[in-house]
């Protein structure tokens, strides 16, 4: 089988669109015709050279599309089904998977580091050379072959362009609030970073019934968007606005770092109240380190934790999110940013790096 895909050759080099050779679907696999694929912060880590991953590779792990073909042994999906891709297929066997934490799966993270699927293959080549897959998915392509376990049906009524956001940003951001931290009604919440994940943290906090939701982001457009999605305060990091100080004078109950940079994690921890919880949501670059005063954890009894992909099995979390979408509590369409065809992948990456509000999408 052939499929056009955006190929990443390494930091500082332009993507090219190539027609790749794709292995036919094996037993348990499906072919998904991609409709919309988001450019996630994780992809940008690769673009900026903050990860060491093999190239050439096809990035992209946040997408929605339509089932085009199914391999043998696939019973729960049929041609024409609309699906969202999950990038965390549980191996089902490691200790983390057995504890219900597929996003912490050791073989999965080994595969992500090696640029392969969990079984060690990539199923992609160009001129006989192996092509790798970003985040064990690689869906910046017209079509992908994936395990049927990662193609999660969404039913009808949610446009695929909007649904793409569910695949990473929404599961990560809303999941951080509802499943990882378990934010309680009337809580005070701080969100550092209002990219797509941060906007979903804001929405998760609103859904959880938080009373105060303070967003910190350097970009005007993102702060404005957060206010429209439920934030009660939005400030730039360098502005000590009286509003912010009044809102979080004693610190917040929950502070989410939606960026994953040491400076944003430290800000989140500093603004967490005694006994409160700091949650690292954004993915740090390889080699990132925190410099911490241990006194914050005993004298002030703070909790510092983190979450990957919302800390819940995506197959369990996605139906919960879809229910919020259908009830009008979870906004997707307003978070869709500029969209580009596959051939304009370089413009799309440029826009994403510039921090435009909303998720930049490719419609292959
Ligand atoms: Zn992602
Ligand atoms: Zn596992």
Per-residue pLDDT of 169-183, as tens digits, reads 999 999 999 999 999
pTM reported for the whole predicted model: 0.95
241: confidence class by pLDDT, cuts 50, 70, 90: low
**Which ligand is nearest the CA of 94, by number?**
2
Per-residue pLDDT tens for 36-95? 999 999 999 999 999 889 999 999 999 999 999 999 999 999 999 999 999 998 788 999
Tell me how far the alpha carbon of residue 169 lies from the centroid of ligand 1, in angstroms.
Answer: 6
58 and 6 Cβ atoms separated by less than 8 Å: yes
Residue 256: predicted pLDDT: 98
**Which ligand is nearest the CA of 106, by number?**
2
For residue 219, the tally of other CB atoms under 10 A from its CB is 16
What is the average per-residue pLDDT within 99-116? 92
Per-residue pLDDT tens for 328-363? 999 999 999 999 999 999 999 999 999 888 999 999
Burial classification of residue 27, based on how many CB atoms lie within 10 Å of its CB (0-12 exposed, 13-18 middle, 19 or more buried): exposed
Tell me how far the alpha carbon of residue 147 lies from the centroid of ligand 2, in angstroms.
Answer: 15
Angle at 309 between CA 168 and CA 61, to 5 degrees: 35
What is the average per-residue pLDDT within 150-155? 96
Tell me how far the alpha carbon of residue 102 lies from the centroid of ligand 2, in angstroms.
Answer: 6
**Which ligand is nearest the CA of 45, by number?**
1
**Which ligand is nearest the CA of 98, by number?**
2
Residue 242: predicted pLDDT: 63
Distance in Å from the first CA to the final CA of the chain: 17
Question: d(Cα 3, Cα 269) in Å, to the nearest integer?
Answer: 45
101: confidence class by pLDDT, cuts 50, 70, 90: confident
Tell me how far the alpha carbon of residue 60 lies from the centroid of ligand 2, in angstroms.
Answer: 21
Residue 237: predicted pLDDT: 85
Residue 52: predicted pLDDT: 86
Residue 245: predicted pLDDT: 65
Residue 244 has pLDDT above 80, yes or no: no
Residue 239 has pLDDT above 90, yes or no: no
Tell me how far the alpha carbon of residue 13 lies from the centroid of ligand 1, in angstroms.
Answer: 21
Least confident of 96-100, 217-221, 339-343: 96-100
19 CB contacts (<8 Å, ≥6 apart)? 2, 3, 4
Per-residue pLDDT tens for 2-24? 999 999 999 999 999 999 999 99
Closest to 197 in 3D by CA, of 36, 34, 43, 7: 43
C-alpha 23: how far from its chain's center? 27
**Which ligand is nearest the CA of 39, by number?**
1
Residues comprising the chain, all counted = 364
Tell me how far the alpha carbon of residue 262 lies from the centroid of ligand 1, in angstroms.
Answer: 19
Tell me how far the alpha carbon of residue 98 lies from the centroid of ligand 2, in angstroms.
Answer: 7
Tell me how far the alpha carbon of residue 47 lies from the centroid of ligand 1, in angstroms.
Answer: 14
Strands 29-38, 359-363: pairing is: antiparallel
321, 323, 328, 333 alpha-carbon torsion, rounded to 10°? 50
**Which ligand is nearest the CA of 108, by number?**
2
240: confidence class by pLDDT, cuts 50, 70, 90: low
Tell me how far the alpha carbon of residue 315 lies from the centroid of ligand 2, in angstroms.
Answer: 15
For residue 172, the tally of other CB atoms under 10 A from its CB is 30
For residue 294, the tally of other CB atoms under 10 A from its CB is 7
Tell me how far the alpha carbon of residue 48 lies from the centroid of ligand 2, in angstroms.
Answer: 29
**Which ligand is nearest the CA of 86, by number?**
1
Tell me how far the alpha carbon of residue 106 lies from the centroid of ligand 2, in angstroms.
Answer: 6
């Amino acid at each position: 089988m052939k499929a056009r895909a955006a190929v990443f050759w390494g930091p500082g080099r332009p993507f090219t669109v190539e027609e790749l050779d794709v292995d036919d679907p094996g037993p348990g696999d499906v072919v998904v015709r991609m409709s919309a694929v988001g450019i996630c912060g994780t992809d940008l880590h690769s673009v900026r050279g903050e990860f060491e991953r093999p190239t050439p590779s096809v990035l992209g792990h946040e997408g929605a599309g339509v089932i085009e073909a199914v391999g043998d042994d696939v019973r729960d999906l049929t041609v024409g089904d609309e699906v969202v891709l999950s990038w965390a297929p549980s191996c089902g066997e490691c200790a983390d998977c057995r504890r219900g934490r597929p996003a912490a799966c050791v073989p999965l993270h080994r595969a992500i580091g090696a640029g392969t699927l969990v079984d060690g293959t990539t199923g992609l080549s160009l001129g006989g050379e192996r092509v790798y897959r970003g985040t064990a998915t690689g869906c910046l392509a017209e079509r992908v072959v994936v395990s049927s376990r990662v193609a999660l049906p969404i039913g009808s009524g949610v446009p695929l362009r909007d649904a793409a956001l569910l695949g990473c940003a929404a599961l990560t951001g809303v999941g951080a609030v509802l499943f990882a931290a378990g934010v309680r009604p009337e809580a005070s919440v701080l969100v550092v970073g209002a990219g797509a994940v941060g906007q979903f943290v804001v929405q998760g906090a609103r859904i959880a019934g938080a009373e105060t939701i303070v967003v910190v982001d350097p970009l005007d457009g993102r702060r404005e968007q957060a206010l429209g999605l439920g934030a009660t305060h939005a400030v730039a990091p360098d502005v000590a606005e009286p509003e912010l100080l009044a809102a979080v004078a004693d610190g917040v109950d929950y502070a989410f770092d939606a960026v994953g940079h040491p400076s944003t994690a430290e800000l989140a921890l500093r603004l967490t109240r005694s006994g409160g919880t700091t949650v690292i949501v954004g993915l740090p670059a390889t080699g990132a380190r925190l410099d911490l005063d241990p006194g914050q954890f005993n004298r002030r009894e703070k909790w510092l934790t983190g979450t990957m992909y919302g800390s819940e099995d995506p197959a369990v979390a996605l139906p919960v999110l879809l229910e919020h979408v259908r009830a009008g509590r979870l906004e997707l369409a307003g978070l869709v940013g500029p969209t580009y065809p596959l051939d304009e992948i370089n413009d799309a990456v440029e826009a994403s790096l510039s921090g435009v509000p909303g998720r930049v999408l490719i419609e292959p």
